[in-house]
């Protein structure tokens, strides 16, 4: 089939690779503009653009696709290069109905949750934060709403106890690539099922960088899930003596109680980790990163930054 593809990050690239491997013709790749990132202020090219250029696929990078001039450009392009279907995967912008109507069979969205659960921009992180046992991928017929369209295909995936935002994204990207290829084959045959979303919906909004600050008064289980959910971005951190201390990995000590320590107090230090009292239970910090340094195992951190029971984490630099 002739596909109009829209996507931006690595997840989108994986889906685009699956479409290419299945023999679909990509008439155009629409992706976000290049961005300046990092301390070196280097220009970063979206993963979808990299792959598209490697396959000689035309690329369109509007700052806001909804603008009238961008919709007009896309409309003119599709008149000359008609598409059978649109495929959208983590594009990062809401599409107007005028764009959704351009492909002959409409647009299918690869959404990384079991809709109607976790509509919105951060469904993977939200599923980990909530302690879900499973998530999945939904191929949805797009409408003008926010992830409200009819379900065409859906497949569940278990969430492993050690899954991070990064590892789960990789698993769901691979699942989504296979699922959209199946969906397009069925769409072409006229056998793709369709049903409205049913049940209670939930929303997973954009994550802000400041959400990585750990509130050590929360239960240890919730903090451990946040550390995993926000790995690799935005990462999680606390403060020690006014300096930011990033947390890479942690675990909950089984059977640990609240005790008499205040939340944020270090209760024990060993080569196995730094034990910290939380609002409920003990959180063992396994990997830490001081300001200006690399992430390191707890024993390596302790060799350079001595810590004792009774020390307190969570003080800010204000």
For the chain, how many structural domains are there in total? Answer: 2
pLDDT band at 182 (very low <50, low <70, confident <90, very high): very high
Which of residues 155, 189, 223 is at a domain's end? 189
**pLDDT the model gives residue 255:** 75
- pLDDT tens sequence across 159-172: 999 999 999 999 99
In this structure, are residues 286 and 298 in contact, taking their beta carbons and an 8 Å threshold?
A: yes
pLDDT band at 316 (very low <50, low <70, confident <90, very high): low
- Whether residue 223 is found in the same domain as residue 180: no
Residue 318 has pLDDT above 70, yes or no: no
Compute the mean pLDDT over every residue in the chain, rounded to the nearest whole number. Answer: 95
- pLDDT tens sequence across 44-61: 999 999 999 999 999 999
pLDDT band at 18 (very low <50, low <70, confident <90, very high): very high
For range 232-250, the mean pLDDT: 97
Q: Cis omega before residue 232 (within 30°)?
A: yes
- Whether residue 72 is found in the same domain as residue 25: yes
| Domain span at 40 | 2-189
Within a domain: residue 312?
A: no
In this structure, are residues 92 and 8 in contact, taking their beta carbons and an 8 Å threshold?
A: yes
Tracing tokens 């034990």 back to the chain, one arrives at 275
Within a domain: residue 316?
A: no
Burial of 221 (0-12, 13-18, 19+ CB in 10 A): middle
Closest CA to 100 of 205, 6, 2, 198: 6
Within a domain: residue 67?
A: yes
Tokens representing 10?
Answer: 């690595």
Burial of 280 (0-12, 13-18, 19+ CB in 10 A): middle
- Whether residue 254 is found in the same domain as residue 226: yes
- Whether residue 176 is found in the same domain as residue 249: no
- Whether residue 170 is found in the same domain as residue 234: no
Among 71-85, 138-152, 256-270, the minimum mean pLDDT is found in 256-270
In this structure, are residues 3 and 86 in contact, taking their beta carbons and an 8 Å threshold?
A: yes
- Whether residue 141 is found in the same domain as residue 47: yes
- Whether residue 44 is found in the same domain as residue 80: yes
**pLDDT the model gives residue 41:** 75
Within a domain: residue 91?
A: yes
- Whether residue 23 is found in the same domain as residue 153: yes
Tokens representing 315?
Answer: 């003080």
- 193 CB neighbour count, 10 Å cutoff: 11
Higher per-residue confidence, 40 vs 42: 42
Residue 315 has pLDDT above 90, yes or no: no
Residue 90 has pLDDT above 50, yes or no: yes
Which of residues 128, 154, 189 is at a domain's end? 189
Q: What percent of the chain is predicted at pLDDT more than 90?
A: 92
Which of residues 189, 217, 241 is at a domain's end? 189
Within a domain: residue 198?
A: no
């Amino acid at each position: 089939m002739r596909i109009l593809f829209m996507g931006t990050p690595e997840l989108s690239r994986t889906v685009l690779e699956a479409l290419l491997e299945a023999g679909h013709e990509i008439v155009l790749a629409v992706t976000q503009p290049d961005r300046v990132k990092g301390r070196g202020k280097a220009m970063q090219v979206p993963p979808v653009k990299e792959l598209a250029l490697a396959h000689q696929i035309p690329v369109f990078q509007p700052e806001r696709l909804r603008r009238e001039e961008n919709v007009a450009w896309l409309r003119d392009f599709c008149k000359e290069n008609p598409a059978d279907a649109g495929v959208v995967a983590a594009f990062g912008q809401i599409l107007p109905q005028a764009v959704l109507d351009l492909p002959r069979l409409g647009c299918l969205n690869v959404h990384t949750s079991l809709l109607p659960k976790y509509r919105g921009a951060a469904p993977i992180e939200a599923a980990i934060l909530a302690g879900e046992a499973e998530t999945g991928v939904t191929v949805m017929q797009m409408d003008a709403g926010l992830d409200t369209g009819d379900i065409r295909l859906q497949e569940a995936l278990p969430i492993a106890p050690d899954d991070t935002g990064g590892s789960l994204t990789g698993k769901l990207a691979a699942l989504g690539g296979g699922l959209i290829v199946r969906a397009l084959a069925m769409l072409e045959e006229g056998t793709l099922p369709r049903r409205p979303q049913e049940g209670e919906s939930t929303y997973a909004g954009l994550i802000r960088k400041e959400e990585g600050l750990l509130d050590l008064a929360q239960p240890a289980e919730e903090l451990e899930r946040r550390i995993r959910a926000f790995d690799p971005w935005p990462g999680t951190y606390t403060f020690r003596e006014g300096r930011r201390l990033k947390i890479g990995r942690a675990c909950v000590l089984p059977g640990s109680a609240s005790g008499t320590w205040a939340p944020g107090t270090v209760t024990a230090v060993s080569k196995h980790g730094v034990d910290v009292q939380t609002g409920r239970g003990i959180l063992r910090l396994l990997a830490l990163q001081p300001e200006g340094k690399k992430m390191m195992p707890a024993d390596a951190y302790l060799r350079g930054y001595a810590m004792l029971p009774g020390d307190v984490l969570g003080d800010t630099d204000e």
